[in-house]
Amino acid sequence: MEQDAFSFLQEFPTNGDLEEVLKRTVEVLNQSVESRKIITRKDLQSTIASYFPSKRHISSIGSTGKDLFYSLAKDVEADIQIVSDPTKELGTAGDIKDFLQYFQDRFRRLRQILKQRIDVHDAVSIADAQHASSKREMKIIAIVTEKKERKRSIMIQIEDLENVASMIVLPTIEQAVFERFRQIILDEVLCFHVVKGQDNAFIGKNVLWPDVPERKVTGATVPVCAALLSDIHIGSKTFLDEPFERFIRWLNGDLGNSKQMELAGRVKYITIAGDLVDGIGVYPNQEAELSILDIYGQYQSFAKLIERIPDYIEVIVIPGNHDAVRQAMPQPALSKKYFEPIMEAREVISLGNPARVKIHGVNLLMYHGRSLEDVIGMVPYMTYQTPEKAMEHLLRARHLAPVYGKKTLISAEMKDHLIIDEPPDVFQCGHIHVMKSEVYRGVNIVNCGAWQNQTEFQRKMGLVPTPGILPILDLQKLQMTSIDFTKS
């Protein structure tokens, strides 16, 4: 047996048919004119196509017309567990009491996460630190309420549940540490290594984020994949209809080389991190860039597209800032009015933003990513071309939208749904329209890019998208790959 044929068999579902496939293949070879004694991958695919039609989804690939498309994912039972969905937990009066309770909940929970770090166990309250003797070194857990950078120093205002304090960061500290202080954004809960100064003020010596611990993540037990999408923007004149059509054809086994077809056959899940449609009135003069002026019509068009996704593939969606839900975070799932045409087209799991699911045991955090704009705008050296670094900062902060009152609207709920209580195995975002991925302390980070060309609004912002590139996650190996569907 050739190595390629052996690899093909390793991915064959263990449901009792393997022995029969081999037996039938040998019989065919013995009866052939060639009388070959070596089994090839093509021999196995021909046997499956002729004698086991249920093991293949589509008989040929459009690009070559030769290879057979075998869908391993079709024979794998779906395994999805919804861990968290904010949809049914939202509701607040929006008064000052709610605001205070929201930030108190944020502080207490992030303080608890910080205290899990070995180097934070000895942290004290601001009050205890202010009662300490001058020049004493201590650690304080506090929330950042104000930050001002000067030429040679940084002034920071901090507070905990009882007290407030001022801190100055001097340029005499190590440059790398000074740069860490520069990366602080407002409303983060952090641990500060300080020295007691005069008048109950402190001198900053170092800063620690809650962060995620370095760890080894275990993948799924079956060799299936998830295709990670976001920012499809149906209804926009710049929607990439041809690349998206290629994506649908690839899923159905009509397009791609043998390696790409094998990958398509292992796609069991599609997760979409928001902005299914382009929406109405999201940014100035948007109407001039719309091909569908009716929001309901946009969702109907989206439904027609996903109707063509093979029915054995599970689809999970959350909303983004272009979708027909409230703008404030966290966002509920799409309402029945707009979700109805989608459900009529095919079965879809619709959750709020953010949401957390386990797929074959792999912990996936889905978040549209509106706050990435705030992080990019406030942290030095970050740009729209490096969204994965902004996502990394959110993991370090253990919060999806730390800063309050900037571009990301946040609803003051009874509970802060944006805290990352448990580190995910995979962190999926969109919004920035630039496809980037990396592994940070064991977490697979991926920003999904988009299916929309650069708009005039994006051009004015200086945002250069990388549309039509699909990231695909191997859930067993926890490895990321991608396919560029903008190329024929």
DSSP track, 164-231: EEEEEE-TTS-HHHHHHHHT--TT-EEEEEEEE-STT-EEEEEEE-------PPP--SS--EEEEE--
- Residue 35 confidence (pLDDT): 60
pLDDT tens, residue by residue, 334-366: 999 999 999 999 999 999 999 999 999 999 999
CATH architecture of the domain covering 118-208: Beta Barrel (2.40)
Q: Which residue has the higher pLDDT, 46 or 193?
A: 193
CA distance 63 to 452: 24
- Residue 97 confidence (pLDDT): 83
Residue 208: left (phi > 0), alpha (psi -120 to 50), or beta? beta
- Residue 455 confidence (pLDDT): 86
Residue 378 tokens read as 């406030």
- How many CB atoms within 10 Å of residue 28? 15
- CATH number of this structure's domain 80-89+214-484: 3.60.21.50
- Residue 46 confidence (pLDDT): 66
Reply yes or no on whether the pLDDT at 57 is more than 60: no
- Residue 5 confidence (pLDDT): 77
Reply yes or no on whether the pLDDT at 33 is more than 60: no
Q: Which residue has the higher pLDDT, 416 or 405?
A: 416
Domain boundaries, the chain: 3-55, 80-89+214-484, 118-208
Reply yes or no on whether the pLDDT at 387 is more than 60: yes
Mean pLDDT, the chain, integer: 90
pLDDT tens, residue by residue, 258-287: 899 999 999 999 999 999 999 999 988 899
- Residue 94 confidence (pLDDT): 67
Q: Which residue has the higher pLDDT, 330 or 455?
A: 330
Reply yes or no on whether the pLDDT at 64 is more than 50: no
- Residue 99 confidence (pLDDT): 87
- Of 12-26, 153-167, 211-225, 226-240, the range with the lowest mean pLDDT is 12-26
pLDDT tens, residue by residue, 103-156: 999 999 999 999 999 999 999 999 999 999 999 999 999 999 999 999 889 999
Whether the CB-CB separation of 371 and 382 falls below 8 Å is answered with: no
Reply yes or no on whether the pLDDT at 62 is more than 50: no
- CA triple 75-81-86, angle to 5 deg: 140
pLDDT tens, residue by residue, 295-333: 999 999 999 999 999 999 999 999 999 999 999 999 999
Whether the CB-CB separation of 316 and 366 falls below 8 Å is answered with: yes
Burial 79-118 (b: 16+ CB within 10 A, else e): beeeebbbbeebeeeeeeebeebbbebbbebbbebbeeee
The band of 69, judged by pLDDT with boundaries at 50, 70 and 90, is: confident
Mean pLDDT across 222-246: 97
- Residue 285 confidence (pLDDT): 87
Q: Which residue has the higher pLDDT, 211 or 59?
A: 211
- Of 37-46, 424-433, 448-457, the range with the lowest mean pLDDT is 37-46
Mean pLDDT across 192-219: 94
Look up the pTM and report it.
Answer: 0.85
- Residue 20 confidence (pLDDT): 77
The band of 63, judged by pLDDT with boundaries at 50, 70 and 90, is: low
Mean pLDDT across 447-467: 91
Q: To the nearest whole percent, how much of the chain has pLDDT over 90?
A: 76
- Residue 1 confidence (pLDDT): 84
The band of 65, judged by pLDDT with boundaries at 50, 70 and 90, is: very low
Whether the CB-CB separation of 228 and 473 falls below 8 Å is answered with: yes
Beta bridge partners, 318, equal 273
The band of 445, judged by pLDDT with boundaries at 50, 70 and 90, is: very high
CA distance 160 to 486: 51
Tokens 């070194």 found at = 137
Mean pLDDT across 399-423: 94
Q: 80-89+214-484 and 118-208 share one CATH topology?
A: no
Residue type, 285: N
- Residue 307 confidence (pLDDT): 96
32-36, 217-221, 404-408 — which one is most confidently predicted on average? 217-221
Residue 364 tokens read as 């996936």
- Residue 32 confidence (pLDDT): 62
Kind plus residue range of the DSSP H or E element containing 389: helix 387-397
